[in-house]
Amino acid sequence: MKIISQNTAFGGMQGVYQHESEACNCDMTFAVYVPPKAIKEPCPVLWYLSGLTCTHANVMEKGEYRRMASELGLIIVCPDTSPRGDDVADELTNWQMGKGAGFYLDATEEPWSEHYKMYTYITEELPALVGQHFRVDMDRQGIFGHSMGGHGAMTIALKNPDRFRSCSAFAPIVEPSTADWSMPAFEKYLGQDQSNWRRYDACALVQDGAYFPEFLIDQGLADSFLENGLRPWLFEEAIKGTDIRLKLRLHERYDHSYYFISTFMDDHLRWHAERLD
């Protein structure tokens, strides 16, 4: 693991690291914030998955999580959103596909399947690496994210309820298999058989019997992607008749940006900390 940068912040350490990924078949970069409490004892870990077009840097630079993470004793891991490199397949004029748009799935179709194994990377390879190099209590894990990353967090939690104690999302894509801005990517990554898409769709997973105890979702009502991409009411409908609990908070005047995310970041960190204690 190569150290790209390390900076002291709120008594802890914000680092950026790079390693050779076997899952994605390329070098991958990720960020980790380690609170001062981790000097003395293992701390719970919270995985943050970013949205379309982002890297690890967006939330690291604009998410404003370090002060509260330091106070609560949370390790925050921020992976990249896709494989990177000159040999990695991409669509240069399409921000909803390719680099920056991995959708946290394992692609099965060429040419994407050679590198786009983000589900395996996030659930297997990166946790093993983080557990090896940082003082992490792997029995206390939570996951959250924004937009495409909210989709990733919710689907990963639903498929791994024994691993994660908490899950939340900012403006998630709750049903990507029917959303205008994700259906084309799903077809290219996973093929035309839409039954294969259900494994990476929060609403479909619930309909097929997947379970996670509770979710927190924050959504801005001034979000330009609300009607065609996000549609949190679909998840609200999907969990009816199940034991899944949902706290859905709708906010007037807030959009899809990191101004929105940073406003409610402390709420999410406190919410996770209560469940990771």
Radius of gyration of the chain from Cα atoms? 17
E strands, 90-173, where? 136-146, 164-170
Distances (CA, A) of 60 to 26, 33, 95, 138: 22, 9, 21, 22
Could you give the residue numbers annotated as active site?
A: 147, 223, 256
E strands, the chain, where? 2-9, 12-21, 26-34, 43-49, 75-79, 136-146, 164-170, 214-220, 245-251
Residue with tokens 């390719």: 98
What are the tokens at 259? 């101004």
- The beta-carbon contacts of 88-91 under 8 Å, at least 24 apart in sequence, are 88/26, 88/115, 89/114, 89/115, 89/116
For the chain, report the end-to-end CA distance as a whole number of angstroms. Answer: 29
